[in-house]
Structure 1
Amino acid sequence: MIAPPALPDLLLDPIVRLALSEDLGRAGDLTTDATIAPGTRIEAHIAARKPGRLAGMDAAAYALKLIDASVELDQHLGDGAELSPGSKIATLSGSARSILMAERTMLNFIGRLSGVATLTARFVAEIAHTNATIVCTRKTTPGHRAVEKRAVRCGGGTSHRYGLDDAILIKDNHIAACGSITEALKRAHAYAGHLRMIEIEVDNLDQLEEALPLKPHAVLLDNMDNETLRRAVSMIDGVCKAEASGGVNLDTVKGIAETGVDYISVGALTHSASNLDVGLDLP
């Protein structure tokens, strides 16, 4: 697959600086300072210990750059690459003190984000025979949304909203506070302008029937069983996009995709992905 571009340094910088700062604390790397003589040079390899999908190399490379831009990073595999146990991801050459200082933060980013990409790839594979697309949600680690959503893309998925400011998604609480689906959609259309998408969440077919004449761009079909999803897709009949959500997992996603929905949102991609085991080793 073609991996998404690396995130701009402007976005990576606060995320990576915070990670390095919480590791280095107030006194730096005491172990390295105590045991490694200045001027010592090494070569080290980052390698996968479990199979998966690679992500997070942009954040890892930026962490190394902030510690010591003179350390050479020779990247053998790019984000989006398939990993097998033992796959050599990158070679680092330079100051031993700098490499050891950056090691854990680099591996944390690669392990966490490769875990997200790996889980996403599993969901994508389950529905590859359909026209549905796997999308992630805003259920991300606070402060890490940009890197986690990019990791989803490395796994072959894409994103729902990045934040509250890039689309209008009318959920059940908005409807309750506003008074009705009809009133919520009328207000949204009056406010949105021509470039903002409007999606509305519905829990049943009666709500869907009320929403469709008001022309949302997409309808979020929440916690519906597969038969209800099929009926909903038939009712929508291409008038807008159909998105399924609610407790989606690897056991259920295939059946959901086969109902004909356009998108399936999966919060688990970012809130429940397991860390992929990667390590840094000296030859």
Structure 2
Amino acid sequence: MTNNLDSITVDNVVVEALIDRAFDEDVQSGDVTTNAIVDKTQQARAVWVAKEQGIVAGLDVAKQVFEYLDPLVVWEPNVEDGTIVDEGTEIVTLKGRARALLTAERIALNIAQRMSGIATMTQKFVDAVDEYSVEILDTRKTVPGFRQLDKYAVQAGGGTNHRMGLYDMAMVKDNHIVAAGNITEAVQKIRNSSPEIQVEVETVTLDQVREALAAGADVIMLDNMSIEQMNKAVEIIGSRAHTEASGNVTLDTVKEIAATGVDYISIGALTHSVKAFDISQRLTYINNH
């Protein structure tokens, strides 16, 4: 689990496929409004302006969106991903073919506004627990196709990435426990099958915590437990495994949860209920003569 922007690689193949899909969805045969009104030789300058305070993320991806239509677009960011901006901040200026700036605008903004919204919300949670030695985690509750971008945005907000997918960490949940018969058997089957994989076990009772600890789980999730239960679970586990609190965590409850001494707090809302960060694009046409 990591929490810096250098530690997650956003695969350019994934980004290119995402942009291809977005243009196919939104533009298809062409932007009928822009193409009818704006001359294909017309140049323009655009400025992205923050309409609220928050953290910016996704600028490199947004740049690629505009380059998809105008490879010669001039892109001049005034801030970097992970920067806190105030309302009214000019985030980036760009210059290129007016048609490209208009047609690509919504796709670019959709991506950057989502990523910036995730970063901004993550930072609020991180700030709320800054007096504790706890890390704020994301989850797999991401938009299909956006996982790398969503998790990158969490890092931009100071959060930590949980597993990227089902392939890089084992997580034993209630249905797995039923299938295996018990927690001990479930953990042992994973150890036999993939001994190099880190194993996390989701628990809802203190008896399950004890069984997961005895089974040798690397991480024990305390799912939807009360503060009293979490305090007891952390005491039982000690330093023999990492602890993760999860389940309906809000800005109102996260500090009290952090005070229990858990190592991690995972929050699905960082990505599944994100509010887009408000950015507007202001465009000025340039005299071609």
Shift of the alpha carbon at 1:210?
A: 1.3
Shift of the alpha carbon at 1:98?
A: 1.2
Q: Which consecutive residues of structure 2, in runs of 5 or more, have no partner in the other structure?
A: 285-289
Aligned to 1:271: 272
Distance, in Å, in 2 between the alignment partners of 1:8 and 1:65 is 17
Aligned to 1:51: 53
- DSSP-derived class of the 1:165 partner: coil
Q: Which of 13, 16, 19 is the aligned partner of 2:16? A: 13
- Could you tell me whether the CA contact under 8 Å between 1:121 and 1:156 is conserved in 2? yes
Root-mean-square deviation (Å):
1.4
- DSSP-derived class of the 1:163 partner: coil
Shift of the alpha carbon at 1:247?
A: 0.7
- Could you tell me whether the CA contact under 8 Å between 1:2 and 1:80 is conserved in 2? no
Aligned to 1:76: 78
Please give the TM-score of this superposition, normalised by the length of structure 1. 0.96
Between stretches 9-18 and 215-224, larger displacement belongs to 9-18
Distance, in Å, in 2 between the alignment partners of 1:258 and 1:219 is 17
Query: Structure 1 segments of 4 or more deviating over 6 A?
Result: none
Shift of the alpha carbon at 1:3?
A: 4.1
> Could you give the per-residue CA deviations for residues 155-180 of structure 1, whole angstroms, max 9, x where no partner exists?
11011111111111000110011111
Distance, in Å, in 1 between the alignment partners of 2:33 and 2:216 is 62
Aligned to 2:211: 210
Distance, in Å, in 2 between the alignment partners of 1:112 and 1:217 is 33
- Could you tell me whether the CA contact under 8 Å between 2:56 and 2:83 is conserved in 1? yes
Counterparts of 1:133-172 in structure 2 under 5 Å? 133-172=135-174
- DSSP-derived class of the 2:104 partner: helix
Aligned to 1:103: 105
* Code of the aligned partner of 1:12: V
Counterparts of 1:197-276 in structure 2 under 5 Å? 197-276=198-277
Percent identical pairs in the alignment equals 41
- DSSP-derived class of the 2:154 partner: helix
- Could you tell me whether the CA contact under 8 Å between 2:47 and 2:283 is conserved in 1? yes
- Could you tell me whether the CA contact under 8 Å between 2:118 and 2:275 is conserved in 1? yes
Note closer, same or farther for the CA distance 1:224–1:2 as it changes in structure 2 (3 Å cut). closer
- DSSP-derived class of the 1:90 partner: strand
Distance, in Å, in 1 between the alignment partners of 2:208 and 2:195 is 24
Aligned to 1:113: 115
* Code of the aligned partner of 2:138: C
> What is the number of residues matched between the two proteins?
281
* Code of the aligned partner of 1:174: H
Distance, in Å, in 2 between the alignment partners of 1:109 and 1:160 is 22
Shift of the alpha carbon at 1:282?
A: 2.4
Shift of the alpha carbon at 1:6?
A: 6.6
Between stretches 15-24 and 256-265, larger displacement belongs to 15-24
- DSSP-derived class of the 1:177 partner: helix
Aligned to 1:85: 87
